[in-house]
C-alpha cells in the first residue's frame, strides 16, 4: 500500500465532496453535529480546488461518488436503498448509481468479448445491442445467440476496473490503519479486517467466472422458492471478464409507478422479498448479498427476478442458528435469551454480567417495538446495538458483515415497495419455522447423526489410533505424557458410541 497515494486519495475525497456541493448533503443526511460540520468545512474548503469536477449534469451526491470511483459508487448504491436514513430525495438521486451510470463504448465491449471468448462477436451473437444498463463495475448488452436464437444478457467488465478498485481499496486500508492508530478503542471493531473482507468480496466481483458459478449455485438452491426466478447462466459463453445469462424481461424494482401501472401488489412484493432473503440466509446459508433495486425485476406474472451475483453471502449452520435465535428473541421480547445466545456464541466476553447485558438489550428493543410500522427499522436496531456492543466490549464479527448489511438493504427495498411494512411481523413466521426445524431435540439428534457419520469415516483408522497410543504408552518413561493421546482416543471412542446410539434413536423416530 502506497502511503502518499492514500493520503492524497483521502484528501481528494473530501475536496471532491466540497467542490461538487455534496458535502452539505452528506452531513445533512447523517444529521452530523455542529462540531463535525465545522471541522468538515475548515478541512474541506481550502482543498476544494483539488477535488474532481465530475459530470455537472448529475445531482451533487451522484456527481461526487461517480467521479471518485467504483468503491465509492458501491457505497452510494447501499445508501440508495435507505430513504429512511438519507431521505427520499437523496435516495432517489443515488438510485442512478445502481444501473444508470455513463457506459463505455460498445466497440470496447465487443473487443473484450472477442478477447475473452476467442471468437468474433458476429460468430457468437446474431445481434449485440448498445448498453442497456451500466453500473460501477460492468455494463450489460442485450444480445441473441446465433446458434439457438435465444435472447441473452451479456455482462462485460469496465476497462481497467481492476486497477481502479485497487487504488480505492488501498486508500480504505490506509484509512482503517489511521483510525486504529488514532483511536485505540476502535480496534475492537477490526476496521482493517472489515476492509480485508470487503477486499475479498470485491475480488470475487472482478472475476465473472466466479459470478457465473455463484449464479448456478444460487439457481440450484432457490429452485423451489415460489415467485422467485434466477436466470440461467450460459457457461460456454462466459469468461473472466464476460458473462452471458438468459435474458430476463421485467419491470425494475425501483420503478414503483410502472409496477403500479402493471397491477402488481406492492405490499405482497415487499413482504416476499424480505421473506425470501431470510429463508435463503437461514435455510440455505447462501444469499444474494447485493439485493438492491437495481438487481431486481418484477416479471409480467409477478415473480421476483434476481440478477448480478457478484456479491454472495455464505454463513455456516451454527451462525445461522445464533442469528435466528437473536432475531426470534427480539421478536418475542425475550431479552434474557438474546443475552444468553450472545454469551454462548462468544460474542460477548465471558467476564461481563449477563443480567446487565440483557437489561441493555431491553433498552435497545423496547423503543423499537414502541414505534409504528413506518418507524420500525432494522437500521435503527443495528445502530442501537452498536452502542451496546461498545459498552460490553463486543468485537466485530466479520462473518456477519454481509448478512447485516444485506438485511438493512433488503429492508430498504421492501420499504420502497410498501413504506408501512412491519418487518418484524413479516420476519416472524420465517424465523419461527427455522427455529422449529433446527433448534430443539430433533435438531440435536440430527446433529448427533451427522457426528456419527463423520466419526464413521474414521472407523478404519481406529485400530491404528489405538495401536499408536499403546506403543507411546509402552515406550514412554513418563506415563503421564501419554495421557493426552489416551484421552483423545477415549474421547473418540465415547463420541462414536454416543453418536451411534443417537443414529439408532433417529432411525426409530417417525
Residue with cell 454462548: 344
Catalytic residue among 265, 290, 308, 433: 290
Instruction: Give me 323's grid cell.
Output: 442469528
DSSP 119: S
Show Cβ contacts of residue 429 under 8 Å, excluding neighbours closer than 6 positions: 275
Neighbours of 233 (CB within 10 A): 22
* DSSP E strand boundaries for 215-316: 228-229, 233-234, 242-246, 251-252, 286-288, 296-298, 304-306, 312-314
3-state SS, residue 372: coil
Q: Give yes or no for a contact between 471 and 482, defined as CB atoms under 8 angstroms apart.
A: no
Active site residue 290: yes
Closest CA to 78 of 387, 308, 289, 313: 289
CA angle 50/56/58 to nearest 5° reads 115
Q: H-type helices in 311-377, by residue range?
A: 317-331, 335-344, 354-369
Give CA–CA dist 113/108, Å, rounded: 9
DSSP tally for the chain: helices H, then strands E: 24, 11
Q: Residue 154: enclosing H or E segment and its boundaries?
A: strand 151-157
**Cβ contact 452:499 at 8 Å:** yes
**Alpha carbons 509 and 442: distance in angstroms, whole number:** 9
For the chain, the first-to-last Cα distance in angstroms comes to 60
Cα separation, 328 vs 339, in Å, equals: 12
Cite the active site residues: 290
Amino acid at each position: 500500500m502506497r502511503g502518499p497515494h492514500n493520503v492524497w486519495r483521502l484528501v481528494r475525497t473530501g475536496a471532491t465532496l466540497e467542490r461538487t456541493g455534496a458535502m452539505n448533503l452528506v452531513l445533512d443526511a447523517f444529521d452530523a453535529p455542529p462540531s463535525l460540520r465545522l471541522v468538515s468545512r475548515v478541512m474541506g474548503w481550502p482543498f476544494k480546488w483539488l477535488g474532481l469536477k465530475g459530470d455537472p449534469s448529475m445531482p451533487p451526491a451522484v456527481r461526487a461518488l461517480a467521479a471518485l470511483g467504483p468503491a465509492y459508487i458501491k457505497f452510494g448504491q447501499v445508501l440508495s436503498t435507505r430513504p429512511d436514513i438519507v431521505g427520499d430525495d437523496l435516495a432517489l438521486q443515488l438510485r442512478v448509481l445502481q444501473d444508470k451510470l455513463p457506459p463505455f463504448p460498445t466497440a470496447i465491449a465487443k473487443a473484450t468479448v472477442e478477447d475473452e471468448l476467442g471468437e468474433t462477436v458476429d460468430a457468437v451473437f446474431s445481434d449485440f445491442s448498445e448498453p442497456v444498463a451500466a453500473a460501477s463495475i460492468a455494463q450489460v448488452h442485450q444480445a441473441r445467440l446465433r446458434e439457438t436464437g435465444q435472447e441473452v444478457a451479456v455482462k462485460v467488465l469496465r476497462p481497467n476496473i481492476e486497477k481502479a478498485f485497487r487504488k480505492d481499496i488501498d486508500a480504505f486500508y490506509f484509512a482503517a490503519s489511521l483510525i486504529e492508530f488514532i483511536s485505540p478503542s476502535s480496534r475492537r471493531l477490526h476496521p482493517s479486517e472489515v476492509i480485508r473482507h470487503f477486499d475479498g468480496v470485491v475480488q470475487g466481483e472482478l472475476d465473472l467466472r466466479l459470478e457465473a458459478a455463484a449464479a448456478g449455485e444460487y439457481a440450484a438452491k432457490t429452485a423451489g422458492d415460489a415467485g422467485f426466478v434466477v436466470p440461467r447462466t450460459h457457461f460456454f459463453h462466459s469468461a473472466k471478464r464476460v458473462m452471458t445469462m438468459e435474458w430476463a424481461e421485467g419491470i425494475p424494482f425501483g420503478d414503483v409507478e410502472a409496477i403500479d401501472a402493471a397491477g402488481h401488489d406492492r405490499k405482497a412484493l415487499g413482504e416476499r422479498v424480505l421473506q425470501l432473503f431470510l429463508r435463503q440466509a437461514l435455510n440455505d446459508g447462501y444469499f444474494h448479498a447485493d439485493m438492491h433495486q437495481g438487481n431486481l425485476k418484477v416479471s409480467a406474472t409477478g415473480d421476483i427476478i434476481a440478477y448480478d451475483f457478484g456479491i454472495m453471502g455464505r454463513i455456516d449452520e451454527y451462525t445461522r442458528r445464533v442469528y435466528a435465535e437473536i432475531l426470534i428473541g427480539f421478536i418475542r421480547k425475550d431479552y434474557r435469551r438474546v443475552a444468553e445466545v450472545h454469551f454462548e456464541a462468544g460474542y460477548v466476553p465471558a467476564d461481563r454480567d449477563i443480567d446487565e447485558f440483557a437489561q441493555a438489550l431491553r433498552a435497545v428493543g423496547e423503543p423499537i417495538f414502541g414505534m409504528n410500522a413506518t418507524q420500525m427499522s432494522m437500521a435503527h436496531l443495528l445502530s442501537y446495538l452498536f452502542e451496546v456492543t461498545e459498552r460490553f466490549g463486543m468485537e466485530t464479527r466479520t462473518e456477519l458483515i454481509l448478512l447485516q448489511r444485506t438485511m438493512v438493504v433488503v429492508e430498504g427495498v421492501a420499504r420502497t415497495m410498501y413504506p408501512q411494512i412491519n418487518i418484524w411481523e413479516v420476519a416472524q413466521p420465517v424465523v419461527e419455522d427455522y427455529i422449529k426445524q433446527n433448534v430443539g431435540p430433533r435438531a440435536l439428534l440430527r446433529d448427533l447423526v451427522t457426528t456419527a457419520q463423520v466419526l464413521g469415516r474414521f472407523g478404519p483408522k481406529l485400530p491404528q489410533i489405538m495401536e499408536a497410543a499403546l506403543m507411546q504408552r509402552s515406550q514412554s518413561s513418563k506415563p503421564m505424557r501419554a495421557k493426552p493421546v489416551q484421552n483423545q482416543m477415549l474421547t473418540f471412542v465415547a463420541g462414536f458410541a454416543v453418536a451411534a446410539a443417537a443414529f439408532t434413536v433417529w432411525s426409530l423416530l417417525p
